[in-house]
Amino acid sequence: MLRWEHGGLGTCVAAQAALCKVAAGHRQLVLQLGGSADGPRLREERRGKSAEAAPRPTGLRSALLAGLQQAASPEERRELERLWVLFLSALELFLQDLRQAQRLCRLFSLQGGGAALLHTGLGGRRGGGPEQPPVPPCLEEEMEQVRAVLAEMESTANIPLWTVEATQAAGPGELGAAPTSQGTGPRSGPCCRVLCPAPQDL
């Protein structure tokens, strides 16, 4: 188990922000799959962005778990619980993007190593047809890695999502948001508070 160092909370906040930034960049690339900008270069960029995000969940999970087990004060623990919930939400969104990438790669395969996938009037043709090459196995591997981290997090810390409430609406395209207790949708990560009272208040 990691030792919870002084300043570890700030490190976790920075790591959470870095993960959300990388995941947001990955989402932008996924949104271009199947479009006029799609091609080998875009798909390689998506794989690179996903690989950049891959080690971050493991390190952040370990740091948060160490903090939850060794938190010096109730306030610090509440902040770590908030980050834990936001981290889970960010990973779930990242997994959704990977599934979307897999779906689009099946619909729009790269035939001939780089033909245009959409008929724009400038040449090329839309992908598709009865014989579709299989989706690269890297996507399934990427999804499995995220699923494994999610499963381990859910089994190591019992922190319900309803313990965090958003206090400010999220901007468009923000990642790392947690649902509110009323289920009204994603909210901004940095502007959340813990709902559950401290044990001494129960």
In a domain, 66, yes or no: yes
Alpha carbons 99 and 140: distance in angstroms, whole number = 9
Residue 174 falls within a domain, yes or no? no
Do the domain assignments include residue 198? no
Determine the Cα–Cα distance for residues 91 and 85; give it in Å rounded to an integer: 10
Give the sign of the dihedral formed by CA 143, CA 148, CA 149, CA 153: positive
Please tell me the total count of domains within the chain: 1
- Decide which of 1 and 48 is more confident: 48
Q: Examine residue 183 and state whether it is found in any structural domain, yes or no.
A: no
Evaluate whether residue 49 is within a structural domain: yes
Return the pLDDT at 184. Answer: 41
Domain range enclosing 23:
8-160
Q: How many CB atoms lie within 10 A of CB 78?
A: 18
pLDDT in tens, 48-74: 999 998 888 888 888 888 888 887 788
Higher local confidence (pLDDT), 112 or 111: 111
The answer to whether position 173 is within a domain reads: no
pTM, two decimals, is 0.69
180 located within any domain = no
CA distance 57 to 149: 7
Mean pLDDT for the chain overall: 74
Whether 102 contacts 95, CB under 8 Å = no
- Here the CATH number for the domain that contains residue 53 is 1.20.58.70
Q: Is position 37 within any domain? A: yes
